[in-house]
Amino acid sequence: MSTNKEKLEDTFEDVEVGEDKKKLSFGYDAGYVDGFQSRKERPTGSTHIGDVDFYEEDAEDIADATWNEVFRTCCCHTPIEWAWIFLGICILCFFLYFFLLGLELLGTAAKVIGGCTAGSILGEAVNPVAALMIGILATVLLQSSSTTTSIMVSLVGAGSIGVNQAIYMVMGANIGTSVTNTIVAMGQMGNGDQLERAFAGATVHDMFNFMTVAVLLPVEAATGYLAALTAAMVRNVNVSDGESWEGPIKVMVEPLGSKIIIANKNVIEDIATEGKTCADFYPTVCEDPSNPTKSTCEVGLIGCDKSTNQCPAFFQPGASQQDDQVSGGVCFFIALVILVACLIGLVTILQKLLLGMSTRILYKATNINGYLAILIGAGLTVLVQSSSITTSTLTPLVGMGVLQLEQMFPLTLGANIGTTVTALMASLVSDNVDSLQVALAHLMFNVTGILIWYPIPFMRRVPLNAARRLGKATRIWRGFTVVYILVMFILMPVVLWGLSTLFEQKSKGLTVLGIVLVLMVVGAVLWFVYWWRWKGGQKTCLDCMGNRQARSSAVRSLPKDMEYLKKKVSALIDHTGLPEEENEEGAEEAPLVAAEEKKVPEVAPASEYTSEDEEEVEGSEVEVAT
């Protein structure tokens, strides 16, 4: 053992391996845990996963490791350890599969619930701001930027909206798609450290999209930059009609998902392009209600599988619109339960697998070149056919501390590129050049955003620091995550969309009202900024969130605190020998009984006092006081 110890110490300089090395709780000794629980106790000062102060270490404090150390840590194990690792990876794949299934069901259920609303708002010809907000709301409702983009392509092909308007909707779809990984980050609300990191990792996607739109929206409105660039790119391009390409992950997940629920995208597209309403598709009719199939049924929002001709479990012959939307709501809830359960399983297994591994080894393995990370993110997204799936899968890793925020950022940028590649492949096999132009506009929007915010380190820190601030806000109050989603993805788009539509009604009264409301909103924003920065607004808000979190924590811990107090009171009674009171009535009567036992003499009127009585009363007072 001493020879083996000396050999390992040459490689693992910060890990002391000996006879007392500690077995991991998962069953194998992968990280050579040294028995210490804090970097302050460890002679080298290095941090290992599982330390009590793991989340207190800053990325700048992590020492560098060699690739030789990384290789030995990852690949040098005994046969028993490899068996445990294989078992852990199998369990990890199980949870990952159902996590992806949960995301698939979440998106499908969202299409069923909000499909009619999304289709109706996408079919409106509006100004740039309204188009942007419609893109956000439609993608939040459908939980898929790919679906939103495909509907936009259909609208452009049908002549319902122009390419310019579709470009603004694409910008909004880019923002709306980032709500999914923000919801996934909420699954780690049980741990404040993990929630802070996970929420920062999720919102770095939001910050990039919001900031890119803030720059390019006025540029596009003033110059038509994206429209002109993509028009030049599709000039003299010939496309042919064909079948769309499906990624391998979608092929793996879809068979089980299609047994549960299928969203009929044709309903959404028909509402957007042909001006139909949801009522036109209901009630659903089947020739044989006992054996519904796609060929024998007229379906609504919940469709049937065209490849197998079978209808899913949630399909109901003769269903009304409300029936389908209720089914979608139930499926949405089931999807959230699956997501949370699988997220807990993924995090637990990953923690077991990585327990005891030095952070400098881990960060060396994940600290790849940023531009290479962009390519990896794009490749992963092409495989899974969704940027939401890529970022949602990586978000728990950031929460655990496996990925740094600086590494999550380029992977997120790559995911944005990857989701446009999918749309490009779909547009190349269509028979409409305009669809290709919209897909290229989506690509160039993200490429331009990357050129603005990533190459220059100073610009790169802007979205990173904004995401960190949002993560720290969850540390003060965990309910901030819900408020953030409601405000940024629902309230703000609805308000701005409503204001912009006032200018589209061709009415002087509504136009004047719109101007007044816009001035009021601008004034309110300026006053808020002044109050926040110079009138103590920031401190007031932070104190309010801190108080809310303190009350919430106090309520959660109240049963344990009461049990603790009961034990302490019981111990105190045993120590002092005081009689234990049976009930509240006995507690109220106890002072009266004690007073009667004292038999304090009644005080006579002053006129009846004698000198002897006064002495007797004084003696009684002393006795009562005692």
Q: Would you say 381 and 415 are in contact if contact means Cβ atoms under 8 Å apart?
A: yes
Backbone angles phi, psi at 279, to 5 degrees: -60, -25
pLDDT digits (tens, 9 = 90+) for 103-114: 788 878 888 888
pLDDT at 5: 38
Distance from C-alpha of 185 to C-alpha of 182, rounded to nearest angstrom: 5
| Residue 59's pLDDT band (cuts 50, 70, 90) | low
Distance from C-alpha of 289 to C-alpha of 387, rounded to nearest angstrom: 38
Q: Would you say 440 and 234 are in contact if contact means Cβ atoms under 8 Å apart?
A: yes
Distance from C-alpha of 388 to C-alpha of 373, rounded to nearest angstrom: 17
Q: 285-286 and 297-298 as β-strands: parallel, antiparallel, unpaired?
A: antiparallel
| Residue 210's pLDDT band (cuts 50, 70, 90) | very high
More confident: 500 or 190: 500
Distance from C-alpha of 414 to C-alpha of 390, rounded to nearest angstrom: 10
More confident: 26 or 499: 499
Q: Would you say 125 and 278 are in contact if contact means Cβ atoms under 8 Å apart?
A: no
Which of 115-129, 297-311, 518-532, 593-607 reaches the highest mean pLDDT?
A: 518-532
Distance from C-alpha of 613 to C-alpha of 626, rounded to nearest angstrom: 20
| Residue 221's pLDDT band (cuts 50, 70, 90) | confident
How far apart, in Å, are the Cα atoms of 65 and each of 11, 13, 68? 10, 10, 8
- The stretch 211-232 carries a mean pLDDT of 89
pLDDT digits (tens, 9 = 90+) for 343-360: 788 878 877 776 656 566
Burial 271-309 (b: 16+ CB within 10 A, else e): bbbeebebeebbebebeeeeebbbebbebbbbbbbeeee
Q: Would you say 123 and 272 are in contact if contact means Cβ atoms under 8 Å apart?
A: yes
Q: Which of 419, 339, 429 is nearest to 385 (CA)?
A: 419
Identify the three-state secondary structure at position 304.
Answer: coil
497: number of Cβ within 10 Å: 21
Q: Which residues contact 341 (CB under 8 A, 6 or more apart)?
A: 98
Tokens of 623: 């006795």
Identify the three-state secondary structure at position 320.
Answer: coil
Q: Would you say 443 and 378 are in contact if contact means Cβ atoms under 8 Å apart?
A: no
pLDDT at 466: 92
Q: What share of the chain is helix, strand, coil (3-state, %, to 5)?
A: 70, 0, 25
Q: Which of 131, 231, 175 is nearest to 441 (CA)?
A: 231
Q: Which residues contact 517 (CB under 8 A, 6 or more apart)?
A: 499, 502
Q: Is the dihedral of CA 264, 246, 165, 437 positive or negative?
A: negative
How far apart, in Å, are the Cα atoms of 265 and each of 207, 319, 362, 407? 30, 17, 43, 36
pLDDT digits (tens, 9 = 90+) for 112-138: 888 787 777 776 656 788 888 888 888
More confident: 435 or 422: 435
Domain boundaries in the chain? 2-83, 90-282+320-504, 539-575
320: number of Cβ within 10 Å: 15
559 sits in the region (left: phi over 0; alpha: psi -120 to 50; else beta) called alpha
Longest dimension (CA), the chain: 126
359: number of Cβ within 10 Å: 24
More confident: 578 or 373: 373
Tokens of 92: 């990890």
Distance from C-alpha of 22 to C-alpha of 314, rounded to nearest angstrom: 50
| Residue 24's pLDDT band (cuts 50, 70, 90) | very low
Burial 78-112 (b: 16+ CB within 10 A, else e): eeeeeebbeebeebbeebbebbbbbbbbbbbbbbb
More confident: 360 or 74: 74
Distance from C-alpha of 98 to C-alpha of 104, rounded to nearest angstrom: 9
Is residue 454 predicted with pLDDT exceeding 50? Answer: yes
Distance from C-alpha of 426 to C-alpha of 436, rounded to nearest angstrom: 9
Cis status of the peptide bond prior to 283, with omega within 30 of 0: yes
Is residue 70 predicted with pLDDT exceeding 70? Answer: no
- The stretch 446-456 carries a mean pLDDT of 92
pLDDT at 614: 46
pLDDT digits (tens, 9 = 90+) for 292-326: 888 888 888 888 888 888 888 888 888 888 888 88
First to last CA, the chain: 75
- The stretch 435-456 carries a mean pLDDT of 89
pLDDT at 157: 67
| Residue 27's pLDDT band (cuts 50, 70, 90) | very low
Distance from C-alpha of 429 to C-alpha of 245, rounded to nearest angstrom: 9
pLDDT at 251: 73
Is residue 63 predicted with pLDDT exceeding 60? Answer: no
How far apart, in Å, are the Cα atoms of 286 and each of 273, 318, 451, 481? 26, 7, 54, 44
Q: Which residues contact 128 (CB under 8 A, 6 or more apart)?
A: 165, 168, 217, 220, 221
pLDDT at 40: 56
More confident: 62 or 607: 62
| Residue 448's pLDDT band (cuts 50, 70, 90) | very high
| Residue 426's pLDDT band (cuts 50, 70, 90) | low
Is residue 158 predicted with pLDDT exceeding 70? Answer: no
Q: Would you say 28 and 81 are in contact if contact means Cβ atoms under 8 Å apart?
A: yes
pLDDT digits (tens, 9 = 90+) for 378-399: 888 887 777 788 888 888 888 8
Q: State the chain's mean pLDDT as an integer.
A: 76
The H-or-E segment that residue 148 falls in is: helix 145-158
Tell the residue number behind the tokens 């002679």, with chain if given.
43
Tokens of 427: 């547009």
- In DSSP terms, 48 is beta-bridged to 358
Return the ∠ at Cα 384 (arms to 441 and 97), rounded to 5°.
155
pLDDT digits (tens, 9 = 90+) for 172-191: 888 888 888 888 888 777 77
Distance from C-alpha of 430 to C-alpha of 414, rounded to nearest angstrom: 25
pLDDT at 43: 52
